[in-house]
Amino acid sequence: MNAMSMARCFAIGPIVMSAEPYGNGHINNTYRVVTPDGAYILQRVNRYVFKKPEQVMDNIVRVTDYLQRIIRSEGGDPRRETLTLVPSLEGGTHVLDEEGELWRMYLCIEGVVTRDLPDTPELFALSGEAFGRFQSRLGEFDTSLLHETIPNFHNTPARYRQLMDAVAEDRAGRLRDVSSELAFARAREAETRLLLDEVDRGTLPIRVTHNDTKLNNVLLDRASGEGVCVIDLDTVMPGLVAYDFGDAIRTGASTAAEDEEDLAKVDISLPMFEAFARGFLSRLRGILTPREIELLPMGAKMMTLENGLRFLADHLNGDLYFRVHRAGHNLARARAQFRLVQRMEEKWEDMQRIVARL
Ligand code: ADP
Ligand code: GN1
Ligand code: MG
């Protein structure tokens, strides 16, 4: 069904003026819907990615209800500082169309912008505070209430095996283009287990985490740059703080876009890294364990490596998972991620020293 007709299935009044594609997400189909009374965000949830979209909705209801309560108790604005679902005309949390696709609607938060790369370290520190605040607000949330919306989402060894499966199948006949990327991945296989080994040993705690903290998943106040609202809650589930720290660093402390083809431009910015870490940790003092803090740089490296493995596997599978905008797009993304991993390895001591100092 088209977005205009779908918008009319939600409780937003009878007049829908427009429904236009919106944002830079790689997964869902997002539209901004305008009515005489205000704007809304309409999304078709990606069913290839989320095999049980009803469970995604279940999680989102629980997490947003919980966050709204906390935000209200802090004297904040619950309709601006977290997502608010708009009910369907029947009073449900979503609508299924005739193809069985799941659609949902949120209030559109106004006066905000998103960034794929941050403007300055000072502004990136504000995003760090927003993700740190998100983590601390969910600190007491009961993890057993959440479905695992994508099994093994940040299981890096499993991501490595998925890449090896894609290599064995070579479904799209692209294997011959990727030999140096595969060598890069193979050389780091043992490292993929580092964080999960710590979980097994009981040295890293499992918490409720966001798991998709790329910079454009936080809405920033247009005037002040403050992180207003962490969005894209589809993957909120049990995880490691290192994942949330790491994915934000992967996206926001890189000197180049996620899909930059000129690899000479790809580097890790230590001032950006430091600024984000400062903002993030300022909200989590007394909450994170010393080992969790010590392993934050490893989170950054692991998330960057993992995204590289995932982009490369999707390239070999014929671009089934991530939305692509040109031929070879996932390969370009994988190459940029691997270059960023390499730069992190070169600046490893500096990254560790920065976190230790904070
Ligand atoms: P995806 O899973 O595809 O990344 P997102 O939920 O992140 O989808 O939404 C895509 C983009 O839409 C976001 O990056 C943001 O710019 C915009 N967006 C999403 N939800 C809202 C909202 N409630 N208010 C304003 N903008 C939003
Ligand atoms: C996807 O949904 P979006 O575009 O914010 C992906 C993340 C990747 C990211 C890479 C559910 O994030 O895991 O890190 O692309 N989300 C899902 O840009 O797979
Ligand atoms: Mg997103």
Extended strands (E) in the chain: 18-21, 29-35, 38-44, 95-96, 102-107, 112-113, 207-209, 218-221, 227-230, 237-239
Q: What pLDDT score does 1 carry?
A: 77
Task: Determine which residue's CA is closest to atom 13 belonging to ligand 1.
Answer: 23
The domain defined by 3-110 folds into Phosphorylase Kinase; domain 1 (3.30.200)
In the chain, residues under CATH classification 3.90.1200.10 are: 121-357
Task: Determine which residue's CA is closest to atom 18 belonging to ligand 2.
Answer: 26
The Å distance, Cα 265 to ligand 1 centre, comes to 27
Pocket test of ligand 1: the residue of 232, 251, 323, 325 to mutate, having most ligand atoms within 8 Å of its CB, is 232
Residues of the chain with confidence (pLDDT) below 70: none
In the chain, residues under CATH classification 3.30.200.20 are: 3-110
DSSP code for 274:
H
pTM for this prediction: 0.97
How would you class 323 by CB atoms within 10 Å of its CB: exposed for 0-12, middle for 13-18, buried for 19 or more? middle
What's the rounded Cα separation, in Å, for the pair 343 and 269?
10
The Å distance, Cα 321 to ligand 1 centre, comes to 18
Which amino acid is residue 14, in one-letter code? Answer: P
How would you class 318 by CB atoms within 10 Å of its CB: exposed for 0-12, middle for 13-18, buried for 19 or more? middle
Tokens of 134: 């998100």
Atom of ligand 1 nearest to the CA of 27: 3
Q: Is the CB of 217 under 6 A from ligand 1?
A: yes
Q: Which CATH superfamily is domain 121-357 in?
A: Aminoglycoside phosphotransferase (APH), C-terminal lobe (3.90.1200.10)
Q: Is the CB of 242 under 6 A from ligand 1?
A: no
SS3 content of the chain, % helix, strand, coil (to 5): 50, 15, 40
Q: What pLDDT score does 355 carry?
A: 98
Q: Is the CB of 174 under 6 A from ligand 2?
A: no
